[in-house]
């Protein structure tokens, strides 16, 4: 009985000490928009196009070395491609309706560790006012007062965002004029305290 009481007292003491231990503080790192980038690839039956989108703002929240949350805004007016005519077309209602939807947004909702410096990120991606959840792998490294987060090959289904132009999901008889519903993003975020 004495051992049981002693054990309970020790357990209670440990619990009390843990209750007063300072938790790891969550720190906010602001995305450096000049050093961060988003590249995209869109494929079609007859080839592919590539381009960039600027990030206008964002932040990453870290507790120790672990990402706990964050978000960033994409400036859709900045979208470029490897073809000047296509760049103009991407800004129209056929694609991203940039005049009505000047920004897109990504908000982290969950982060799961996947090994050293590797995480699986889940978040809400909003394009054209439509929000869908996506999950992708990323690497995150804290280096002093900076954090570098890199994710490649993020597949986004444009049909879910009502981007219909050249999509077999909406038009069955477009043949070799079809554009893949999925496009890929490569995100490189650099954030600082």
Query: Is there a domain that residue 1 lies in?
Result: no
Query: Is there a domain that residue 7 lies in?
Result: no
Q: CATH number of the domain that 62 lies in?
A: 2.40.128.110
Burial class (CB in 10 A: 0-12, 13-18, 19+), 173: exposed
Q: Name the domain count of the chain.
A: 1
Q: Residue 21's pLDDT is what?
A: 53
Kindly tell me the sign of the dihedral angle through the C-alpha atoms of 16, 18, 22, 23: negative
Instruction: Identify any residues that bridge with 184 across adjacent strands, giving them in sequence order.
Output: 41, 155
Residue 115 sits at the vertex; the CA angle it makes with 110 and 121, to the nearest 5 degrees, is 20
Query: Is there a domain that residue 41 lies in?
Result: yes
Residue-wise pLDDT tens digits, 51-87 = 999 999 999 999 988 999 999 999 999 999 999 999 9
Query: Is there a domain that residue 18 lies in?
Result: no
Residue-wise pLDDT tens digits, 140-193 = 999 889 999 999 999 999 999 999 988 887 877 777 778 899 999 999 999 999
Mean of the per-residue pLDDT values for the chain?
A: 89
Query: Is there a domain that residue 174 lies in?
Result: yes
The 10 Å Cβ neighbour count of residue 111 is: 19
Residue-wise pLDDT tens digits, 26-48 = 999 999 999 999 999 999 988 99
Q: Which domain holds residue 83?
A: 23-192
């Amino acid at each position: 009985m004495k051992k049981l009481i002693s054990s309970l007292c020790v357990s209670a003491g440990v619990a009390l000490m843990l209750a007063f231990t300072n938790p790891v503080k969550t720190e906010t790192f602001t995305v450096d928009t000049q050093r961060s980038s988003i590249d995209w690839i869109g494929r079609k039956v007859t080839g592919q196009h590539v381009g960039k989108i600027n990030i206008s703002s964002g932040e990453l929240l870290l507790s120790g070395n672990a990402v706990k949350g964050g978000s960033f805004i994409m400036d859709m007016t900045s979208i470029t491609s490897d073809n000047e005519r296509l760049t103009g077309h991407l800004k129209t209602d056929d694609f991203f309706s940039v005049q009505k939807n000047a920004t897109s947004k990504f908000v982290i909702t969950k982060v799961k560790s996947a090994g050293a410096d590797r995480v699986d990120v889940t978040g809400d991606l909003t394009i054209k006012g439509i929000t869908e959840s996506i999950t992708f792998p990323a690497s995150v490294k804290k280096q002093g007062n900076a954090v570098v987060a890199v994710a490649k090959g993020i597949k986004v289904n444009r049909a879910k965002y009502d981007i219909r132009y050249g999509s077999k999901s909406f038009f069955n008889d477009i043949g070799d004029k079809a554009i893949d519903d999925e496009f890929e993003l490569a995100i490189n975020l650099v954030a600082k305290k």
